[in-house]
Homo-oligomer: A and B are copies of this chain.
Amino acid sequence: MTAEVTGLRADARRNRDQIVAAAKQWFAVQGPDVPMEEIARAAGVGVGTLYRRFPDREALIRAVVRESLTISVAEARAALAEEPTAWQALVRVLRQSRELRLIVRLTTAAQPAKTIVKDDEESSELRRAMIEVLDNVVHAAQAEGALRTDVDTGDVSMLFTLLVRPVPLQDEETAELARERCTALVLDGLRAHTGTPLPGRPLTAADVGL
């Protein structure tokens, strides 16, 4: 995200950004296996250009993940800084999920992607930053008495991961509503006071590998 893109000529830089943007869109709808040529076309460049910038599919996925993670971390930090309560920050993070959705989509695909993030130092660092923010939010929300205390960051991110998955419904409007309601319901389940104790022990971020 830094050395990699600095010092490009203006037009090259623009192309690079268009490629990443196109990749994000296609990855979001089709997963990480979309034909490279499709992405190139969507970016308005030839395949060759794509390959000059990203030597192979992995490199492109890596770039997309980095960018999405960067944005996600920033969004989470903003939520924590701006919302009056940690609980509200939690809710906001959960709703600001466009980028997260993409990351989950990519890192969840059967074939290639989990490893890509694991093996990339920059991604790993971003991942750590993300965990840190989440930890803060979760523990603060518990300190507020808003979040049940038998969960930990791992549980919360697990639930995020599930909620964030693409919901393949015919019309986007219903899909949106469904997502809203599921989110609300899960938040309800996360609220303090509630019901039955959860099985096992709170899962930490380390437990779930995020």
Contacts and interface: CB of A to CB of B under 8 A. Distances in A.
B177 A199 contact: yes
A1 interface: no
Given A169-B208, A177-B199, A185 B155 contact: yes
Q: How many copies does the complex hold?
A: 4
Interface string A31-62: 10000000000000000000000000000000
A6 interface: no
Contacts of A166: 108
Contacts of A186: 185-186, 189
A191 B196 CA distance: 10
Given A158-B167, A162-B167, A169-B209, 12 more contacts: A150-B202, A152-B205, A154-B204, A154-B206, A155-B202, A158-B208, A161-B208, A162-B165, A174-B207, A177-B200, A181-B200, A181-B203
Given A150-B198, A154-B210, A30 B110 contact: yes
A140 interface: no
A2 interface: no
Interface in A71-91: none
A17 interface: no
B208 A185 contact: no
Interface residues of A, number: 62
Nearest to A178: B158
Contacts of A131: 205, 210
Interface string A12-35: 000000000000000001110000
17 contacts: A30-B110, A130-B210, A131-B210, A150-B197, A150-B202, A151-B198, A153-B203, A154-B178, A154-B207, A155-B198, A159-B182, A162-B182, A180-B200, A184-B199, A187-B189, A187-B196, A191-B195
Contact of A168 (B108, B151, B155, B198): B108
B208 A174 contact: yes
